[in-house]
Amino acid sequence: MSKPQTELTDRLAGMVGSANVTANPALRLDGLVPALRVAPASTAEVADCLRLCSEMNLAVVPAGRGTWLECGNPLRRADVVLSLERMNRIIDYSPPDLTITVEAGMRLRGFNETIRGDRLWLPLDPPGASIASIGAIIACNSSGALRCGYGTPRDYLIGLSLAHADGSQSKSGGRVVKNVAGYDLNKLYVGSYGTLAVITEATFKLRPLPEHHVTIALTAKKTQPLTAIARQVQAAELQPAAFVLTSMAFEELFGPNQGAETLLLRFADNEATVTYQVEWLGRACADEYAWTEVSGDDEAALWNKVCDFDNQWQCAVRFSVPLSATTAAYEYLLSEGDCRVTADLGSGIVRAAGNGKDDLTIGLIHRYRAAAEKLGGTLFIEKAALIVRQQTCAWSAVGAHGRLMRAIKEKFDPQGILNPGRFVAGI
Ligand SMILES: Cc1cc2nc3c(=O)[nH]c(=O)nc-3n(C[C@H](O)[C@H](O)[C@H](O)COP(=O)(O)OP(=O)(O)OC[C@H]3O[C@@H](n4cnc5c(N)ncnc54)[C@H](O)[C@@H]3O)c2cc1C
C-alpha cells in the first residue's frame, strides 16, 4: 500500500472504525479499481469521509447495495466507494400522518415489509426491487410498472438529509406532507446519479395498501393483436395500477401454447372499483383473447419477473416516448431483431434487452436513439458492456440545458469528486 493510501485508510478508520474500511476491495467499476471501500454509519460520518476525500482530491462513488454501480456514462475516476449499507434504520415513523423517515441504505423491500402491518406502503417497484436501497432509488429515480398508477420516487419524497462533497451537511424539504412554499430542492437530487451529494436520509409520504388487487394477463387467441385491446383500454376510463405489453414468454405461468406476447393489467383499489374494471375488460375482450387471472403470491412473482426482465441479458435500453407512441416504439424494437421488449402503456417507457457487446450493438444503439427521437422521445442505456458505453452516451443529448446542469454541478461539487463523468454533459 502506498504512503498516501495508508494515511487515508488510517484516517478513515479513525472516523468509522477499522472494521468498516476495506483496502483493495476487489471491485472494478468501468475498468477502474477503487483503492478503498468505506462504510460510515451516520450522516456526520458520511460528511467527515467526504471532507477528507475532498482534501485529498479523491473521487468518491456513493453506493447503496452496489448492484447498479455501472449505470450511466463510464466514470473518469473512482478512488473510494462510500457504502451506505450500515445506514439502514427507520428514524421516524408516523402511521397516522402517513410519513416515514429512513436512512438511505435501507432496502425498499425491508422497508415495505415493516410498514405492511399498518396497511401502508411506498408503491414503487423499480428493477432490482428486492435488493435496491432507498438512497439509490432516489438517486436514479428508478421506477417500474407501478409508475402507471402511482408515479415515481420524486412523487413521494418530501424531505432529504444530505452530505456534500466539501463535508458540509444539509436538509431539504421537511417531515410533513404539507411543506412550506419555496424552491423544492429535494427534486434537484432525484435522478442526479450521485453526482451532486450523498443522500443519507429520506422522508416519504406513504399510501394505504390497496384493499384489493388482481392482475389480468391476456394473450392473443386468433388474429386480433394485443395492441388492439391495449388501445381500447387506453381510450377508456380505466385506471390500472400497471399496464404492460411484453414480448416475454410466460410459459411457466400460462402454459406453453399461450403465445409469446402478453398484455398485463393490474388493478388495485377497493373491491368494487377493481371488480368494475375487470368486468369492463372482460366485456371488451369478448372471446378474442385468452384470459388468466393472477393474484396472491403468483401476482407478486409475475411482476418481479416483468421488473427484472433484463437480468439475463448483456444490454438493456429504455425509450421514453409520448403515450401515443408507446406501441409504435414497442413494435419498432421488436422489428429490429432478437430482443425482449416490455412497454409500459401507462407511462410511455419501453425497455428492450438483448445480447451483444460489439460494433453491431453500438450501431444498433445509434439506430435506437434516432428512432426514439423520431417518435418524440429519448433513449437511455440502462446497462451495456463498457466498450459500448464508451462509444455511445447513456443519455440522449440535453442541448442547451447542459450548461445549466454543469453550472449546478460546479456549485455543488467544484472539484468534481462525486461520481465524475457519470451523468449527462460530462458531469
Ligand atoms: C439487475 C438490475 C437492473 C437494473 N436496471 C435498472 C434499470 O433498468 N433502470 C433503472 O432506473 N434502475 C435499474 N436498476 C437500479 C434499481 O432500480 C435501483 O436503483 C438499484 O437497484 C438500487 O440499488 P443499489 O442500492 O444496489 O444501488 P447502487 O448500485 O448502490 O447505486 C446505484 C447508483 O446510485 C448512486 N447512489 C447510490 N446510493 C446513493 C446515495 N445514497 N446518494 C447518492 N447517490 C447514490 C450510485 O452512485 C450509483 O450511481 C437495476 C438494478 C438491478 C440490480
Q: pLDDT of 197-238, one tens digit each?
A: 999 999 999 999 999 999 999 988 777 789 899 999 999 989
Q: How many CB atoms lie within 10 A of CB 304?
A: 15
Write out the three cell numbers for 79. 478512488
Tell which residue, 268, 277, 7, 305, has the closest CA to residue 144.
305
Q: Whose CA is nearest to atom 34 of ligand 1?
A: 136
Nearest-CA residue for ligand 1 atom 38 is 136
Ligand 1 atom having least distance to the Cα of 105: 41
By most ligand atoms within 8 Å of CB, the mutation choice from 27, 50, 61, 67 for ligand 1 is 67
Report the 10 Å Cβ neighbour count for 385: 15
**E strands in 145-282:** 157-163, 169-173, 198-205, 207-208, 212-220, 242-246, 262-269
Dist CA 192 CA 194 (whole Å): 6
pLDDT digits (tens, 9 = 90+) for 265-302: 999 999 999 999 999 999 999 888 989 999 999 999 99
Angle at 258 between CA 253 and CA 260, to 5 degrees: 90
Ligand 1, CB within 6 Å, residue ranges: 61-69, 71, 84, 104, 126-128, 131-133, 135-137, 139-140, 142, 193-194, 198-199, 311, 316, 382, 419
Q: How far is the CA of 164 from the CAs of 49, 79, 200, in angstroms?
A: 10, 17, 10
Q: Is 96 helix (H, G, I), strand (E, B) or coil?
A: helix
> Of 149, 100, 98, 101, whose CA–CA distance to 123 is shortest?
149
In the block, residue with C-alpha cell 399461450: 258
Alpha-carbon gap, residue 386 to 376, rounded angstroms: 28
Of 357, 364, 359, give the one whose Cα is nearest residue 384: 357
Instruction: Return d(Cα 233, Cα 413) in angstroms, integer.
Output: 47
Q: Identify the pLDDT of residue 96.
A: 96
For ligand 1, atom 11, which residue shows the shortest CA distance? 142
**What amino acid is encoded at 79 in this protein?**
D
Contact of 123 with 137, CB cutoff 8 Å: no
> Which residue CA neighbors atom 22 of ligand 1 most closely?
132
Going by alpha carbons, the residue nearest to atom 2 of ligand 1 is 128
Weakly modelled stretches of the chain, pLDDT under 50: 252, 257-258
Name the 3-class secondary structure at 153. Answer: helix
Mean pLDDT estimate for the chain: 93
The pTM assigned to this predicted structure is 0.95
For residue 286, the model assigns a pLDDT of 87
Can you tell me which atom of ligand 1 is nearest the CA of 142? Answer: 11
As beta bridge partners, residue 351 has 318, 342
List CB contacts of 294: < 8 A, sequence separation 6 or more: 214, 215, 216, 217, 253, 302
Q: How far is the CA of 284 from the centre of ligand 1 (A)?
A: 39
DSSP states along 101-142: EEETTSBHHHHHHHHHTTTEE-----TTTTT-BHHHHHHTT-
8 A C-beta contact, residue 45 and residue 201: no
Give the list of residues 6+ apart from residue 202 with CB closer than 8 angstroms, or none: 101, 102, 104, 134, 135, 138, 157, 159, 160, 161
Residue 350: count other Cβ atoms within 10 Å of its Cβ.
29
Distance set, CA 10 to CA 5, 23, 336 (Å): 9, 10, 54
Residue nearest to atom 28 of ligand 1 (CA): 66
CB 135 within 8 A of CB 82: no
Helix (H, G, I), strand (E, B) or coil at 185: coil
| Residue 252: predicted pLDDT | 47
At 259 the pLDDT is 54
Q: Sheet of 90-94: strands edge to edge?
A: 90-94, 99-103, 198-205, 157-163, 169-173
3-state helix, strand, coil in the chain (%, to 5): 35, 25, 40
Dist CA 155 CA 186 (whole Å): 11
CB atoms within 10 A of CB 72: 25
Q: How far is 162 from 159, CA to CA, in rounded Å?
A: 10
- Separation between Cα atoms, residue 388 and residue 356, nearest integer Å: 9
The backbone region for 296, taken as left when phi is positive above 0, alpha when psi lies in -120 to 50, beta otherwise, is: left
